[in-house]
Structures are given as C-alpha cells and as structure tokens.
C-alpha cells in the first residue's frame, strides 16, 4: 500500500469505532482542487461536510478523518439505499478534471479522472476492504446511496474510466507496491517540475492527448518520450511548437500583439498541436491523433475532406477548407499533420480574410488581435465576452513569454483590458463561488456573489480560471474574496 498522508481535522465528524464500518462510498470532489487542498479546507473549521480520504490527480492519498470516526459524506433527507449511511461507511473522494472548465455543472458530462487517481483509489479501496472485511458489493457510489450525481464520471460513464472498470479493479486483488510509480507517463514542463505536473497516465496515448505546448511526456525513468508537436517532425524539449509558431508569425511581419492574439486562438482550438483531431472523433473513428494522421497520409483513410472532423492547428472542419489543406499538403509533399506545412497554409488562407489581416497588422493590444481572429477567422458558435476574455488571456501568456518589455512593446501595454483595475463586472449566475484566494486550490468561503454588478480591484492568474481571478471590492481590506473572471462580463 502506498503512503497515506495525514491532515486530520478537528472538525466535521462524529466519534465512532471501526466496528461500525460496513460500506465504502466513492465520491468525486466536484471541483478542480487537489487532495491536500481539500484536506486543508476541511481542517480549517466547521464545513458541515467531510470525507475520510481524498485521492489526488497524481495518485497521492490524503486522510482527514480517522477511519473509526463518522465523516459527513453521504447524509441526505431521503435515501435510495436501504442501509448505507454515514454511520456505517467510509467516504473516499476522488479529485477530478474537466475538459471545459468554463462550466463546472454537476450534470456536465466532461468531468474525468486521471489514470493515477483511479489506480490509487482502487488500491486504497482494496486496502480498506481487506482491513475491515468489506465485500466488493458493499463498495458503492454516492449516487447509489442518495441519487446524487456523484461521482459524476462513474454515474454517466462516458469517459475512459467507468464504474464497471473500478469494480473490476477492486475485485482483482491488490496491486503490487509501487507499480504506479514504475509505469506512469507524466506530463510536465521539466522532469524536475513535479508541482506543475498536468497529469500521470498508464497509457502513452492518453499522456500525449494531455500534453499541451511547452510540456513534455516523461516515462517512469524521467526520460522525455514525447513533446507537443505534430506529424513526424521532431521537436526539442526547449521551446517546442510554440517557439516555431511565434518565429513564423513574427517573421511574416506580425507584431508581438498580433502574433500572441493569433496564437491564443490556435491554442484554444488545438493546444498548438498540428495533428490534433477533434476529441469526439477519436472515439467515433476509434483512432488516436497519430493514427488518423498516418491513415490520411497513407491514403488508407479516404474521408478526410468530408468527415466534418476538426483537425490541425486551426481545427479546420468545413469540407472546402479541409480540401484546400489536403491539396496544399500533397503539393508540398508533407504530412497532413506537419507543423511547418500547416503554418504556411494558415498564412496563405489568412490572406483571404482581409479584415482580419488588416486588424492584425494594426493591432495595438493582444485583446484587439485576439478578438479579430475569433470573430473574423475562427468564428466559433460561442463568441461571448467570456470566450473573448479567455482567448485573449491565452494570447497574453505568449506575449509575456516571448515579447515582454523589450521585444515589441511594454508588457503592461499588451495586457488585456480585464487586467486594468478597478473595473465593474456583471454576474448572471446565482452560484458563482467566492474563494479566499486566486485559484481553485484556495478554500471556498461558503458564499456566492449572486446575480448583480460588482467592482474588481485586483486581478491575478490562478488555477482553474483562464481569464484570471478578480478580487471583489468588498473583500479588498483582507484580500480574501476572489471570483473566477471566466463567469463575469466586464462592463
């Protein structure tokens, strides 16, 4: 059994004994924060809820209520299950990630578990089953107890990891100690940057899917085996695709604002992966990005033009644009997933968007360039203010990384409008959480803004919000009231 970290809360439980334990109930945390952060939250005061264990995205296990004591994890006014209650069960919360973090609804179907989380949770569950004599049919979901959509991925079962798989894992005997550490592929900027890890996966293909520009996939020995790039072209760990794209765009005469604004949109579309196949088509066609690319290149897949699958840097989808991309690649003798080929095609295609090119050439801010690309070139169905802010925020990261104060202008001049404070925002949802700090790794205050207009007096980057976190004026003195700007519209 792997190490169990302990941060035992003095709150949020009733005293009990281990003789009470008959069930193990599996949950998900319903947000993007990690195991340690959740333990700190429940150890910080009376929260009227708790669980015994939290399993992190990277497989770390944290305990915050002693097994003997009764945590408050599955209580309700009415129950589906005839016997399981807080008083006779142990609660295990699994940390979770989400494809689209703009919405964090309980019924959204894009919540998913990392491989490392599932493996560690299964190992912990087997350990507790053996320790307390809990049979496999007494390992159940929160959903089975009360009907709550929890754990979401194990209720809808639309992602790689399903409830049936988990039940098989806990019924298949104990895993060998240390197996996860030996076999997991880890997505990091550098091997030494464990704190910035995006995920850990048993499957190399899943690790590649999670690897965004600037990150690498490392095997269990710390060797880089993949970097976010395209086709058969090689990429060094330093710089990678994004540095190639930046050099190409600025080499075409775009200033730093324009290059960054365009790159922010490409990142939103594809993660800067030139061989990126629209996620839903990976499942529909039963192909990985690499397999799809190879099949198009070889001619064994003949429906590239008409399959309506988004592909490449700009997620070209419409048949006439995919035909033009395909013809360009063939004429160049290049892979359909080749980065340099796609950049050349992108630039050629942009020349037909006169208004976009004019806006890029005249851009005086990242936001202006980003909006021009979003509304005039990419043209997604959702062109809301929140989407504009999010894409501009992506672009700002590239501006700060490659331009800064000495290469294309003063950094402050390039910041999006959302960073200039104070400013007012409109909130149209009733349940926008207020947190004690700038990020989902900070504790929830237990309060919500409600619908209304609010003044933001400071903006910071932080986990879980592409547009950043805003400090509400009412919390300015202690700086302990922050909201995600992804859910706010600037006035």
Is residue 302 exposed (0-12), middle (13-18) or buried (19+ Cβ within 10 Å)? exposed
Q: Please work out, in degrees rounded to the nearest 5, the angle formed at the alpha carbon of residue 343 by the alpha carbons of 341 and 348.
A: 95
pLDDT in tens, 339-383: 889 999 999 999 999 989 989 998 888 999 999 999 999 988 888
* Averaged confidence pLDDT in the chain: 83
* Rounded mean pLDDT, 377-400: 87
| Percentage of the chain modeled with pLDDT above 90 | 42
For residue 12, is it left (φ>0), alpha (ψ between -120 and 50) or beta? left
* pLDDT number for residue 420: 58
CB neighbour list of residue 396: distance below 8 Å, 6 or more residues apart: 260, 264, 366, 414, 415, 416, 419
How many angstroms separate the Cα of 59 from the Cα of each of 220, 250, 338? 14, 41, 35
* pLDDT number for residue 192: 59
Selected residue with higher pLDDT from 223 and 234? 223
Q: 4-171 with 421-490: one CATH topology?
A: no
Which numeric CATH code is attached to 240-414?
1.10.530.10
Q: How far apart are CA 181 and CA 489, in angstroms?
A: 43
Select from 344, 352, 377, 362 the least CA-distant residue to 268: 377
* pLDDT number for residue 491: 74
pLDDT in tens, 65-122: 999 999 999 999 899 999 999 999 999 999 999 888 888 888 888 899 998 999 999 9
Cβ atoms within 10 Å of 249's Cβ, excluding its own: 24
At the topology level, CATH places domain 421-490 in SH3 type barrels. (2.30.30)
| C-alpha count within 13 angstroms, C-beta hemisphere, residue 251 | 9
- Going by CATH, does the domain composed of 4-171 fall within 3.40.80.10? yes
List the domain boundaries for the chain: 4-171, 184-227, 240-414, 421-490
Tokens of residue 139, six digits: 């390992």
0.75 exceeded by pTM: no
Which residues face 488 on adjacent strands? 427
Of the ranges 66-80, 93-107, 223-237, 270-284, the best mean pLDDT one:
66-80
432, 447 in Cβ contact below 8 A?
no
- Looking at the predicted structure, is the pLDDT value of residue 178 above 50? no
Q: How far apart are CA 249 and CA 313, in angstroms?
A: 14
Least confident of 63-72, 243-252, 399-408: 399-408
Confidence of residue 402 (pLDDT cuts 50, 70, 90): confident
């Amino acid at each position: 059994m792997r190490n169990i970290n302990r941060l035992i809360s003095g709150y949020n439980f009733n005293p009990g004994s281990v003789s009470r334990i008959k069930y193990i109930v599996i949950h998900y945390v319903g947000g993007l924060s990690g195991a340690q952060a959740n333990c700190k939250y429940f150890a910080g005061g009376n929260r009227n809820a708790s669980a015994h264990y939290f399993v992190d995205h990277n497989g770390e296990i944290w305990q915050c209520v002693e097994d003997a004591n009764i945590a408050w994890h599955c209580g309700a006014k009415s129950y589906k299950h005839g016997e399981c209650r807080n008083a006779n069960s142990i609660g295990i919360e699994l940390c979770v990630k989400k494809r689209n973090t703009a919405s964090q609804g309980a019924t959204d179907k894009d919540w998913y578990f990392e491989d490392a989380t599932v493996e560690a949770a299964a190992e912990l569950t087997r350990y507790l089953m053996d320790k307390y004599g809990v049979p496999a049919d007494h390992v159940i979901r929160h959903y089975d107890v009360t009907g709550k959509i929890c754990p979401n991925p194990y209720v809808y079962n639309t992602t790689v990891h399903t409830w049936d798989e988990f039940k098989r894992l806990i019924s298949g005997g104990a895993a060998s100690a240390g197996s996860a550490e030996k076999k997991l592929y880890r997505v990091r900027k550098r091997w030494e940057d464990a704190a910035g890890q995006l995920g850990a996966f048993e499957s190399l293909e899943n690790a590649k899917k999670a690897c965004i520009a600037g990150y690498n996939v490392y095997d269990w020995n710390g060797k880089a085996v993949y970097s976010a790039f395209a086709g058969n072209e090689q990429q060094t760990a330093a710089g990678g695709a994004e540095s190639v794209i930046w050099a190409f765009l600025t080499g075409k005469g775009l200033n730093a604002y324009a290059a960054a604004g365009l790159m922010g949109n490409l990142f939103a579309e594809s993660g800067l992966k030139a061989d990126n196949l629209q996620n839903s088509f990976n499942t529909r066609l039963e192909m990985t990005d690499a397999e799809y690319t190879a099949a198009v290149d070889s001619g064994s897949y003949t429906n590239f033009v008409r399959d309506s699958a988004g592909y490449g840097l700009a997620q070209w989808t419409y048949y006439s644009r995919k035909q033009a991309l395909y013809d360009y690649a063939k004429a160049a003798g290049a892979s359909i997933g080749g980065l340099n080929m796609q950049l050349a095609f992108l630039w050629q295609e942009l020349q037909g968007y006169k208004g976009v090119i004019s806006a890029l050439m005249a851009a005086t801010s990242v936001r202006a360039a980003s909006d021009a690309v979003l509304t005039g070139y990419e043209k997604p169905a959702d062109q809301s203010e929140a989407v504009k802010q999010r894409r501009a925020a992506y672009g700002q990261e590239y501006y700060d990384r490659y331009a800064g104060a000495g290469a294309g202008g003063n950094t402050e001049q390039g910041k999006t409008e959302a960073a200039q404070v104070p400013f007012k925002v409109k909130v149209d949802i009733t349940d926008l959480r207020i947190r004690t700090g700038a990020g989902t790794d900070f504790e929830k205050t237990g309060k919500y803004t409600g619908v209304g207009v609010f003044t933001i007096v400071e903006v910071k980057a932080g986990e879980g919000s592409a547009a950043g976190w805003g400090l509400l004026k009412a919390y300015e003195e202690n700086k302990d009231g922050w909201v995600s700007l992804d859910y706010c519209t600037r006035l």
